Amino acid sequence: MADRVPSIRLNSGYDMPMLGLGTYNSFRPNEVGDAVKAAIQMGYRQIDTAWIYQTEQEIGVAIKELIKEGKIKREELFIVTKIWGHCHEPDQVEPACRKSLEALDMDYVDLYLIHFPVAYVDKERTKPTMTDYLDTWRAMEKLVDKGLVRSIGVSNFNAQQLDRILKMDGLKYKPANNQVEITPYLAQDDLLQFSLKNGISTTGYGPFGAPGQVYIPKDAPKFLEHPTIVDIGKKYGKSSAQVILRWGIQRGYALVPKSTNPSRLAQNMDIFDFELSKEDMKAMLALDKGYRVNHEQFLPWKDHPFYPFEK
């Protein structure tokens, strides 16, 4: 199955699988480890985590066991993790990266992202700081030179912030990826086009609206039940989730849907035997309302100059 998943060639020269496993909000013992094992054996090769998810160690153990059993090799996997905002000071970047590597029990990660452009004084985000993400980026570049990470990128950055990095003095490595929320109600087309034009890949998180996540508003739209998406799915004999993922693949960005359910993991992987028509792609894009599901947790910093979303 792994050979069915297309890849995106990053500007760093490495290939990133277009379908990965998200691991946020998996806190029950062995939950994420079991999901990672099941996913890898189904053909998933990208595993997405972050320091703040508290899943790095369990992911590392699961992968180590599969390697020991001869079911996978480290070089066949694409591991993504992220630096949290309390470590944006340049002298804190490498120690933060090394902590993630230690938790994962790996010599390198394939992609290391700045999780959010705003920095904080502590991990609880009690107070923001004015640390410039350009200074953080310069420290991130050194991680590549030291072989700790293969590619570097960002998450939750807007086009203006990406452009600011691209135009910074002495830039050595362009962002290889920007991981952002993309859903049927938040198509992010302008950001996608800007990134494509500048050789920056995009990964969409929360493609189904992150149902069940603690930070999602109770009245958030249920994309998997949307009549347009359900009807499109019926045409192809596919679920709404498969339609949403296929829409993303055809638009050219990677996706990291989160699931710990083996049947859903398999269903999410089963999207490479059909193609949405131009009419159905347009119908999906027409659902865009600029509606951001994942925003309430960021609102305390809406007046910060590095806040990335529209006020």
Neighbours of 87 (CB within 10 A): 24
pLDDT at 198 over 80: yes
Pairing of strands 177-181, 149-155: parallel
- 53 in catalytic set: yes
pLDDT at 2 over 70: no
Mean pLDDT of 116-142: 97
pLDDT at 181 over 60: yes
Average pLDDT, the chain: 95
**Secondary structure (3-state) at 155:** strand
pLDDT at 49 over 80: yes
Predicted confidence at residue 4, as pLDDT, reads 84
Q: Determine contact, residues 301/85, Cβ cutoff 8 Å.
A: no
pLDDT at 311 over 60: no
What band does 215 get if pLDDT is binned at 50, 70 and 90? low
268-286 tens-digit pLDDT: 999 999 999 999 999 999 9
The residue ranking higher by pLDDT, 140 or 24, is: 140
- Which amino acid, residue 192? L
Q: Which residues contact 65 (CB under 8 A, 6 or more apart)?
A: 37
77-122 tens-digit pLDDT: 999 999 999 999 999 999 999 999 999 999 999 999 999 999 999 9
Has this prediction a pTM greater than 0.95? yes
Identify the bridge partners of residue 16 per DSSP, sorted by sequence position. 8
Mean pLDDT of 147-160: 98
Predicted confidence at residue 279, as pLDDT, reads 98
pLDDT at 1 over 60: no
Mean pLDDT of 154-174: 98
pLDDT at 26 over 90: no
Length of the chain: 311
3-state DSSP helix/strand/coil percent for the chain, to nearest 5?
Answer: 40, 15, 40
243-272 tens-digit pLDDT: 999 999 999 999 999 999 999 999 999 999
Domains of the chain: 2-301 (3.20.20.100)
Q: Determine contact, residues 282/232, Cβ cutoff 8 Å.
A: no
DSSP one-letter string for 241-304: HHHHHHHHHHHT-EE--B---HHHHHHHH--SS----HHHHHHHHTT-----STTGGGGGGTTS
- Of 53, 133, 185, 253, the active-site residue reads 53
In Å, the largest CA–CA distance within the chain is 54
φ/ψ of residue 166, rounded to 5: -60, -30
Predicted confidence at residue 220, as pLDDT, reads 82
